[in-house]
């Protein structure tokens, strides 16, 4: 029986992954942890522990208390925040990852952590970015992700920890908005479109980035972790993507369902520079061949679902 410890369980991925894993493996077998508790379903629907991932002893205590056999390490700062606070980002992102890997080693547990298209840099081939290629990121977040991939591979090769990872594109969701990312514009635009019928983008037109709807990202995590390890040639981490678009294309998709929707631009030079250092589109062939990666949502199907899910809440918010 799987007993799963999730760090960063109240974040953008964690808040939905916790619920999905509780559905599959049983609520009591998924231990959600985060730096503080809140009243979200992820925090209230099963075991929850307060955990600062930079505290190795506390992480070991929680892992032993629940006798976990799987560690899913999600707690990290995203690209824009990491760029604003590089030293703090290094300590949290790398210190937390090392503690999670050590905990998985001690517990003889399987291990997952997300990497990102942010692990690539300006010298990486930009179109159909290969699984194995040049990785010289120019952001602290990217340095953390490349170092993290190498560290997770090291724990597999040196200590036999069953580590697995995914290079996620921008993830779009309506449950818990992301914080401090570069691709967050592709989430904010839906909220603003439903609320106000317009959005001012901090990413410029013509800036293509890989993206994926959260349901596909969650299924990819489950499928990778359940995959036959003898079939894995790669481990940390697999390129996965569902689509690539620029602000104009997501705006056009939204305008099909919210007539009159308008996008304008006020480019943020910091996040624009980060976005331009990343690929336009990545190649997911290795994930498809080694463990059957697939996705359900393209841009229009995602747009329909996002608007349908956001509209009721937003209407409740507009007074009168
Ligand atoms: C970020 N959402 O923008 C994250 C992600 C590919 C982007 O890693 O930092």
In a domain? residue 287: no
Query: What pLDDT is attached to residue 4?
Result: 98
Q: Does residue 128 share a domain with residue 30?
A: yes
Structural domains of the chain, count: 2
- The CATH number assigned to the domain holding 206 equals 3.90.25
- Is 202 catalytic? The answer is no
Same domain, 206 and 217: no
Task: Please tell me the residue having the least CA distance from ligand 1 atom 7.
Answer: 170
45 domain residue, yes or no: yes
Backbone Cα Rg of the chain? 19
- Residues in CB range of 28: below 8 A, 6 or more apart: 46, 47
Q: How far is the CA of 279 from the centre of ligand 1 (A)?
A: 12
Among 119, 171, 240, which residue has the most ligand 1 atoms within 8 Å of its CB, making it the best to mutate?
Answer: 171
Q: What is the pLDDT of residues 57-105, one digit of tens each?
A: 999 999 999 999 999 999 999 999 999 999 999 999 999 999 999 999 9
Does residue 249 sit within a domain? Answer: yes
Range of the domain at 143: 4-169+213-239
Q: Which of 66, 141, 213, 297 is catalytic?
A: 141
Position 68 scores a pLDDT of 98
The verdict on 139 and 222 lying in the same domain is: yes
Q: Tell whether 271 is covered by a domain.
A: yes
Same domain (yes/no): 230, 273? no
Summarised one tens digit per residue, pLDDT across range 24-45 is 999 999 999 999 999 999 999 9
Instruction: Specify whether 229 is located in the same domain as 249.
Output: no
Q: Pick from 84, 144, 149, 170 the residue to mutate for probing ligand 1's pocket: most ligand atoms within 8 Å of its CB.
A: 170
Q: How far is the centre of ligand 1, averaged over its atoms, from the C-alpha of 1 (Å)?
A: 32
Ligand 1 geometric centre to CA of 236 (Å): 17
182 and 165 within one domain: no
Average of per-residue pLDDT values in the chain: 96
Q: Which atom of ligand 1 is nearest to the CA of 180?
A: 9
Residues 82 and 102 in one domain: yes
- Which CATH number belongs to the domain containing residue 77 in this structure? 3.40.50.720
Q: Which atom of ligand 1 is nearest to the CA of 209?
A: 6
Distance 220 CA to ligand 1 centre (A): 17
Specify whether 232 is located in the same domain as 265.
Answer: no
Q: Do 146 and 134 touch, CB atoms closer than 8 A? A: no
Q: Which helix (H) or strand (E) holds 299?
A: helix 299-317
Handedness of CA 26, 30, 31, 33 (dihedral sign): negative
Q: Of all protein residues, whose CA lies closest to atom 1 belonging to ligand 1? A: 181
Domain membership of residue 253 (yes or no) is yes
Say whether both 62 and 109 belong to one domain: yes
Same domain? For 12 and 160 the reply is yes
Per-residue tokens: 34: 């985060």
Relative to the CA of 80, which ligand 1 atom is closest? 9
Q: What is the largest CA-CA distance in the chain?
A: 63
- Tens digits of per-residue pLDDT, 237-273? 999 999 999 999 999 999 999 999 999 999 999 999 9
Q: What is the pLDDT of residue 269?
A: 98
pLDDT band at 314 (very low <50, low <70, confident <90, very high): confident
Nearest CA to ligand 1 atom 4: 181
Q: Is pLDDT of 319 > 70?
A: no
- Ligand 1 contacts (CB < 6 A) are 78-79, 116-118, 141, 169-170, 178, 181-183
In a domain, 267, yes or no: yes
d(CA 21, CA 228) in angstroms, rounded, equals 19
Q: Is residue 132 a part of any domain in this protein?
A: yes
State whether 89 and 235 are in the same domain. yes
pLDDT of residue 315: 59
In a domain, 71, yes or no: yes
Q: How far is the CA of 111 from the centre of ligand 1 (A)?
A: 21
89 and 64 in a common domain? yes
On whether the CB atoms of residues 13 and 114 are closer than 8 A, the answer is yes
**pLDDT 10s digits, 161-211:** 999 999 999 999 999 887 899 999 999 999 999 999 999 999 999 999 999
144 C-alpha to center of ligand 1: Å? 12
First to last CA, the chain: 51
Question: Residue of the nearest CA to atom 8 in ligand 1?
Answer: 116
Name the residue of 11, 176, 178 to mutate for ligand 1: max ligand atoms within 8 A of Cβ: 178
Helical pair 185-196 and 299-317, crossing angle rounded to 10 deg: 50
């Amino acid at each position: 029986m799987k007993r799963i410890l999730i760090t960063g369980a109240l974040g953008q991925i964690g808040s939905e992954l916790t619920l999905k894993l509780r559905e599959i493996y049983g609520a009591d077998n998924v231990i959600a942890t985060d730096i503080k508790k809140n009243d979200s379903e992820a925090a209230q629907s099963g075991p929850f522990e307060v955990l600062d991932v930079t505290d190795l002893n506390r992480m070991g205590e929680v892992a032993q208390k629940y006798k976990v056999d799987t560690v899913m390490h999600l707690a990290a700062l995203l690209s824009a925040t990491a760029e604003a606070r590089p030293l703090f980002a290094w300590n949290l992102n790398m210190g937390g990852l090392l503690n999670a890997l050590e905990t998985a080693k001690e517990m003889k547990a399987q291990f997952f952590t997300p990497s990102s298209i942010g692990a690539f840099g300006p010298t990486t081939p930009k179109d159909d970015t290969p699984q194995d290629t040049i990785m010289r990121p120019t952001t602290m977040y990217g340095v953390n992700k490349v170092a993290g991939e190498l560290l997770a591979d090291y724990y597999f090769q040196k200590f036999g920890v069953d580590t697995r990872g995914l290079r996620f594109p921008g993830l779009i969701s309506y449950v818990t908005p992301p914080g401090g990312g570069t691709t967050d514009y592709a989430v904010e635009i839906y909220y603003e479109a439903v609320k106000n019928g317009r959005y001012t983008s901090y990413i410029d037109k013509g800036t293509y980035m890989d993206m994926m709807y959260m349901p596909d990202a969650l299924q990819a995590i489950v499928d990778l972790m359940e995959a036959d390890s003898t079939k894995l040639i790669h481990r940390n981490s697999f390129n996965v993507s569902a689509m690539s678009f620029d602000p104009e294309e997501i705006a056009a998709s939204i305008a099909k369902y919210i007539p009159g929707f308008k996008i304008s631009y006020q480019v943020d030079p910091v996040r624009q520079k980060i976005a331009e250092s990343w690929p336009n589109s990545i190649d997911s062939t290795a994930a498809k061949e080694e463990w059957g990666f697939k996705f359900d949502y393209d841009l229009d199907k995602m747009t329909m679902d996002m608007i349908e899910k956001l509209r009721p809440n937003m209407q409740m918010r507009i007074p009168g």
